[in-house]
Amino acid sequence: MHQMIRKVFLIASITAVSAMNLFPAFAEGAAGQAVTAVEAVSEEQPKDEHSKVSFSDQSNPAPVSPSDSGYVDAGPGIEKKEPEPEKPKEISLGIFKITGYCNCEQCSGGHNLTYSGTVPAPNHTVSADLSRYPLGTKLKVNGTVYTVEDKGSSVNGNILDIFYSTHEEAVAKGTYNAEVFLVQE
Ligand SMILES: [Zn+2]
């Protein structure tokens, strides 16, 4: 009985020792593999960094050209400022007395054409003081841009006579005061 117990203990102790020997071996092996893995990685990493550096060195000139094209794209922002002066500038001429007329005998004395020889048109033709606003001058009244094409004996200074297609409309629009803008194109 005692020998049997000793044998079992021996076997158990041997197994334990062999297990103790095996585990460190596993641990060393694992450590060794880990080290070699780390070494392998650490050996590859410098290569990657080298290749990355070389790639970044090669790609460095590339980002410069996109940024250059970015500057080119920013160019139209400056060009956008150029069309702005092309837009009509409106300069206030102050408050005018606005009257209306048509091409009837009473309004125009039977003249079918304007002083400038054009056929008068509503929302277009205006009579003005030509000494101030020569023929062709663009004048804006209440959102409508008129062209100075006519003159009148009573149209002097800050007075504009707007052409209407009918005498009734000219009378209906009446006489009123409005701010007039000089439209420069
Ligand atoms: Zn009339």
Count CB neighbours of 70 within 10 A.
Answer: 11
CATH number of the domain bearing residue 103: 2.40.40.10
Q: Which residues pair with 96 in a beta bridge?
A: 178
For residues 99 and 65, membership in a common domain is answered with: no
Domain ranges, residue 23: 2-81
Q: Are residues 99 and 149 in the same domain?
A: yes
Residue 117 is predicted with a pLDDT of 96
Q: For all residues of the chain together, what is the average pLDDT?
A: 73
Asked which of 50, 81, 112 is the last residue of a domain, the reply is: 81
Ligand 1 centroid distance, CA of 133 (Å) = 23
Ligand 1 centroid–CA 95 distance in Å is: 24
154 C-alpha vs ligand 1 centroid, how far in Å?
15
Residues by chain with Cβ below 5 Å of ion ligand 1? 102, 104, 107, 167
Number of domains in the chain: 2
Is 94 found in the same domain as 160?
yes
18-29: pLDDT as tens digits: 444 444 444 444
pLDDT for position 20: 45
CA-angle at 65, arms to 61 and 67, nearest 5°: 115
For 164, phi and psi rounded to 5 degrees? Answer: -125, 155
pLDDT higher than threshold 70 for residue 17: no
* Interatomic CA distance for residues 149 and 147, integer angstroms: 6
158 close to 133: Cβ distance less than 8 angstroms: no
Domain match, 157 and 92 both: yes
43-86 confidence digits (pLDDT tens)? 444 444 444 444 444 444 444 444 454 555 556 666 666 666 66
Considering the domain architecture, whether residues 142 and 97 belong to the same structural domain is answered as yes
Among 39, 62, 81, residue at a domain's last position: 81
* pLDDT tens string 118-164: 999 999 999 999 999 999 999 999 999 999 999 999 999 999 999 99
Cα 163 to middle of ligand 1, angstroms:
9
What pTM does this model have?
A: 0.54
Write out the H or E segment, with its range, that includes residue 161.
strand 159-163
